[in-house]
Chains A and B, each alone.
Chain A
């Protein structure tokens, strides 16, 4: 198991965060986000307990939070984590087709990671950009009014970059 714990620099960042709240546990959501950022987008074993200690709360509390929110992941995500909105209205403006196309092209169902660890796919609810439908979010980057051809090109480029 890899080492669990923040570097000194990140600890400093976390401590400035704590100063913004009456209690350390209030900062649990942003601290978990930082933990994921430091671990390629997910929370490997042991990090829940580490964050609980840091935020002065219990392991069960942290686990309850991790499982409640969509954005916390307890299994690895791909280098490119793709979220496709199929909510209302995107789902009726091409979002569903985008998801099906990605599933087909990547050979995985929503909720999974490609065997090479490059891509993971997630069907998402409204992302507050419905005028840009259909759309996908790759890590933090929102790709708007995307066409199936653009998706193909993007996948090819992302794969080529790795190779």
Chain B
């Protein structure tokens, strides 16, 4: 296998690493937290984050330092940082790798984020099915309280901080940040119209920032090694490394850490071992179920936010799903729309009705009862969901469903009525 560029997974790749606090500290952990508490002002931390160029790893790639700077100055309202550990985008499993094997890394990043945004309480929202991750992260938090790295007057610096694990209960939409905030308030997870943005009115109507696990896991490195060291990795505007989840018909599915901008084809062939059973490649979905599908001749591109967007799809959560020559692309479309139809929160008509119609259309192809007009209708229905909804879920349905029909017309033609 080709070498990984280890920044986030360095500890995890060290044989025998246990991930408990002692092991984390032995590997140099907790230093950034101490440094920040002892020698930096919150605004200085945000400046470092801005200079690093770190972009969010949860899906949208929003600049992390800028997001933190949107938080208002301290007032009588509490501030909150919520860590998005919902990880429900089909094909994505890198946050679980981090949570289960090196939880202190993202927790340290989260603590630094809380300090930078004057937040004294952070919530880690973990999907409810992942009891193993919930237990592991709770155990790590208990260790931090015991070591007095969390709690009141931490390290005598006068800063108080509490972290709480909050379990979800099985709803993909709760990964969307405003749905997550409603869910954290004990409500149904239905996305909110913006504005107001969470930095103005988030959890409990107080200033709130939501960040993904992997995003936060980068923070200790940036404070220890400096913004320049981080910015030096990856192409311009796409700094750092990325933990890429590769699944499907590859020989070695798993998470691989590479620089941003690493070639997509190389990820599949040099890291994930190529197509299993020596088969040929048929298609790649490069950024979770919300990303448009690519044909084999389209994957020789740098894998990062900007280049994937240029290719008409997206990097999303960094989940690459690979499918071999025996795959029926219509079935891929069927699995995808079944997922979205099941998970739509139902607030917006185009999303609620559109996912239902699309599901029925794809099923007609599955029953070998399609025709060219139906394929056109499907594409148009998918197009019309885009840009018309409260949250980005609508676009997440629209993009991939259009791409299936546009990129693989011959696959749909196999399911025309004879």
CB pair B166 A131 closer than 8 Å? no
Is residue A9 within 8 Å, beta carbon to beta carbon, of the partner chain? no
CB pair B170 A93 closer than 8 Å? no
Q: In the complex, which residues 119-146 of chain A have their Cβ closer than 8 Å to any Cβ of chain B? A: 124-133, 137, 140, 142
Given contacts A128-B130, A129-B96, A142-B132, contact A27 B186 (CB under 8 A): yes
Bound: A21/B321 CA distance, A? 38
Is residue A87 within 8 Å, beta carbon to beta carbon, of the partner chain? yes
CB pair B169 A69 closer than 8 Å? yes
Bound: A132/B321 CA distance, A? 13
CB pair A130 B129 closer than 8 Å? no
Is residue B30 within 8 Å, beta carbon to beta carbon, of the partner chain? no
CB distance from A115 to the nearest CB of B (A): 26
Q: In the complex, which residues 1-51 of chain A have their Cβ closer than 8 Å to any Cβ of chain B? A: 20-23, 25-30, 32-33
Q: How many residue pairs between the two chains, A and B, have CB atoms under 8 Å in the bound complex?
A: 137
Bound: A83/B183 CA distance, A? 23
CB pair B128 A131 closer than 8 Å? no
- Report A-chain residues with C-beta under 8 Å of the C-beta of B153: none
- Report A-chain residues with C-beta under 8 Å of the C-beta of B92: 126, 128, 130
CB pair B188 A88 closer than 8 Å? no
Residue in contact with B289 in the complex, picked from A32, A33, A88, A124, CB distance below 8 Å: A88
- Closest A residue by C-beta to B343: A125
Interface size class of A (residues with CB under 8 A): 35 or more
Bound: A142/B184 CA distance, A? 25
Count, chain B residues at interface, CB 8 A: 54
Is residue B177 within 8 Å, beta carbon to beta carbon, of the partner chain? no
CB pair A133 B87 closer than 8 Å? no
Residue in contact with A26 in the complex, picked from B89, B91, B204, B255, CB distance below 8 Å: B204
Is residue A91 within 8 Å, beta carbon to beta carbon, of the partner chain? yes
- Report A-chain residues with C-beta under 8 Å of the C-beta of B93: 128-131
- Report B-chain residues with C-beta under 8 Å of the C-beta of A30: 166-167
Is residue A57 within 8 Å, beta carbon to beta carbon, of the partner chain? yes
Given contacts A128-B88, A128-B96, A131-B247, contact A71 B335 (CB under 8 A): no
CB pair A133 B247 closer than 8 Å? yes
Q: What 5 pairs between A and B have smallest CB-CB spacing?
A: A28-B186, A70-B170, A69-B169, A131-B253, A130-B247
Residue positions of A touching B, CB distance < 8 A: 20-23, 25-30, 32-33, 55, 57, 61, 64-65, 68-72, 83, 86-89, 91-93, 124-133, 137, 140, 142
- 19 A-B pairs with C-beta separation under 8 A: A25-B185, A32-B169, A65-B186, A68-B189, A69-B168, A69-B169, A69-B170, A83-B129, A87-B335, A88-B91, A88-B285, A89-B321, A89-B323, A92-B327, A92-B331, A125-B339, A130-B321, A131-B246, A137-B129
19 more A-B residue pairs beyond the given contacts A89-B90, A128-B87, with a C-beta to C-beta distance below 8 A: A23-B186, A25-B186, A27-B186, A29-B169, A32-B169, A33-B167, A33-B169, A68-B188, A69-B169, A70-B171, A71-B129, A87-B90, A89-B247, A92-B331, A93-B248, A128-B95, A131-B245, A131-B253, A142-B132
